[in-house]
Amino acid sequence: MTVQRDVVVKQLADIQIESTDEGLIPAYGVLVNMLPVAFWNTFTERILKAIPDERRAELEEALVNCAHECGYHTGFGIINSDEFKSVVEPMVTEGAKDILRGAYAVFTAWGWAKSGIVQIKEGERMVIRAVDYYESDGQPGYKTAFMIRGVSAAFFDLAYSDAFPDGIHKYKCEQAKGIEVGDPFGEFIVYQNE
C-alpha cells in the first residue's frame, strides 16, 4: 500500500475553499488566498526585468526563499491538517517517502504544479518532475520556477531535517529543466545545503 495520488488529488480538489464573512480564508493553520496566476507571474517577470544583472542571482534566491518559507510553514500545516490525516494518512506505509508523495499530491491539487516524485534518496536527494506548472506560463526564455524550487526544498526539510520549526534551510533545490525554456517537463533536484 502506498499513497495513490489520483485519489488524493480528486478528494482535495473537491474541498471548497471559501472565505469567511470577514473575507479571509483560514485553513491549514495559515491564511489562504486565491489570486489570479497572472498576478504572481507578472510580479516575478517585472521585478526580474527591473533588477541589474549583477543583482539578479540574489533576487532569484530571494524569490525562492519566499516559497521556501511558505512551503515550510504551510506544508507543516497541511501534513498536520484533518484533511491530510483523513485522506492521505491511511495510505501511508513508507513513512517520510509516503508523506512526500502525499505532499506532492496536495501540491498538485492546489494548482501549483502537476508534479510528482521521480526519485528519493532518503535524507540526501530528491528529484521532482512537473509536467504542467503555472510559473512556466509566461515562456520568458529563462527558468522561472522559483516557487516549485522553494516549496520542494521545504518539503524535504519537513521530511528529513530537524523537527518543525527548527529544520528549515537544511536543503535547497535547483531547477535542472523547464517547460519555459523548451524542455518537455520541469525537473528539480533537492539536495543538502552546504
Grid cell for residue 112: 501549483
Q: Answer yes or no: are the C-beta atoms of 177 and 186 closer than 8 Å.
A: yes
Judge residue 139's burial from the number of C-beta atoms within 10 Å of its C-beta, 0-12 exposed, 13-18 middle, 19 or more buried.
Answer: exposed
Task: Rule CB under 8 A: say whether 46 interacts with other proteins.
Answer: yes
**Segment 135 to 194, residues that bind other proteins, using CB under 8 A:** 137, 147, 185
Report the residue number, 25 or 170, with the smaller CB distance to other proteins.
Answer: 25
Which letter does DSSP use for residue 17 in this model?
Answer: -
Report the residue number, 119 or 192, with the smaller CB distance to other proteins.
Answer: 119
Coil, helix or strand at residue 14:
coil
By CB under 8 A, name the one of 47, 86, 162, 193 that touches other proteins.
Answer: 47
Task: Rule CB under 8 A: say whether 57 interacts with other proteins.
Answer: no
Sheet holding 171-177, edge to edge: 113-121, 125-133, 186-192, 171-177
Q: Answer yes or no: are the C-beta atoms of 176 and 130 closer than 8 Å.
A: no
Query: One-letter amino acid identity for 168?
Result: I
| Closest CB 153 distance from other proteins, rounded Å | 14
Task: Rule CB under 8 A: say whether 117 interacts with other proteins.
Answer: yes
Q: Answer yes or no: are the C-beta atoms of 136 and 186 closer than 8 Å.
A: yes
x-marked contacts with other proteins along 91-110 as a string, rule CB under 8 A: ------x---x--xx--xxx
Residues interacting with other proteins, by CB under 8 A? 1-6, 9, 13-14, 16-17, 19, 21-25, 28, 30-40, 42-43, 46-47, 50-52, 59, 62-63, 65-67, 69-70, 73-74, 97, 101, 104-105, 108-112, 114-120, 129, 131-132, 134, 137, 147, 185
